[in-house]
Structure 1
Amino acid sequence: MALNPFRAAPRVPFVAATVAPVGSIDPCRIYGSIYLETDPVRRSYCFATVYLEPEEAFADLLVYKEDNKLFADKAGFWYQTPTRDFADYMLYVTDNRALADFYIHYTDSRSFAGCRKQ
């Protein structure tokens, strides 16, 4: 019936196309068990690319290393897994700041961990 030349084409209501926002990855949504990948061959399998910022002032995310996976439940609280199979996120660590999606800095204080307000 769709190819019938004598019948009028059915009317389709206008539907606006939904477009996903284009931009960088939000570091404030990353928490839980994390595996840090350093092998450049496996970079394409990682969720994001991070740079370990030596200065706290320039970091996008202050990270506190948790000893227990259950306490890594907010942004900035990471439990680093020894294997990539059990990780919630795999992140590639680069030494080139320009190639990173966001910058992290490890903090010793639990109360300072989290996202920086922008």
Structure 2
Amino acid sequence: MALNPFRAAPTVPFVAPASVRFGSFDPCRIYGSVYLETDPYRRSYCFATVYQEPEEAFADLLVYQEDNKLFADKAGFWYQTSARDFADYVLFVTDRRALADFSITYTKSRSFAGCRKQ
């Protein structure tokens, strides 16, 4: 089949680029039920990679562990589930800080939970 040189080229409809930013996200928006994955074979199924920081001063997010899922309604308030299927977020825990998307540490006070202002 030959192309017609006298016919105008077909117009391509304008497609807006996706508004989703790949590779970066806001860890301050993570709250609710969370499952922490440690199996490296399931890393690709996780939402993000986290590092558990031993020092509170260097962590990006201070996390308070809630006993009830209903109270985990703000940034930094997590209810850790034992089942991966019932979690809002599945996060892979790594032991290398350089491979993590962000770092967390646990706090015992509800008032300290949340993102650190940088």
What is the Cα deviation at residue 89 of structure 1? 0.5
Structure 2 partner of 1:57: 57
Unaligned 5+ runs, structure 2: none
1:76 corresponds to 2:76: yes
Other structure's SS at 1:90 match: strand
Structure 1 partner of 2:17: 18
Check 1:29–1:109 CA distance in 2 against 1; reply closer, same or farther (3 A cut).
Answer: same
Q: How does 1:1-118 map to 2 (within 5 A)?
A: 5-9=5-9, 15=14, 18=17, 20-21=20-21, 23-118=23-118
Hey, what's the Cα distance between the residues in 2 that align with 1:23 and 1:51? 16
Backbone CA RMSD of aligned residues? 2.1
Other structure's SS at 1:18 match: coil
Hey, what's the Cα distance between the residues in 2 that align with 1:45 and 1:23? 15
Residues matched between the structures, number: 115
Q: Once superposed, which parts of structure 1, at least 4 consecutive aligned residues long, lie more than 6 Å away?
A: none
Hey, what's the Cα distance between the residues in 2 that align with 1:94 and 1:48? 10
Unaligned 5+ runs, structure 1: none
* Amino-acid identity (%): 82
Hey, what's the Cα distance between the residues in 2 that align with 1:85 and 1:22? 24
Hey, what's the Cα distance between the residues in 2 that align with 1:23 and 1:117? 21
What is the Cα deviation at residue 26 of structure 1? 1.5
Hey, what's the Cα distance between the residues in 1 that align with 2:45 and 2:25? 15
Specify the code of the residue in structure 1 equivalent to 2:65: K
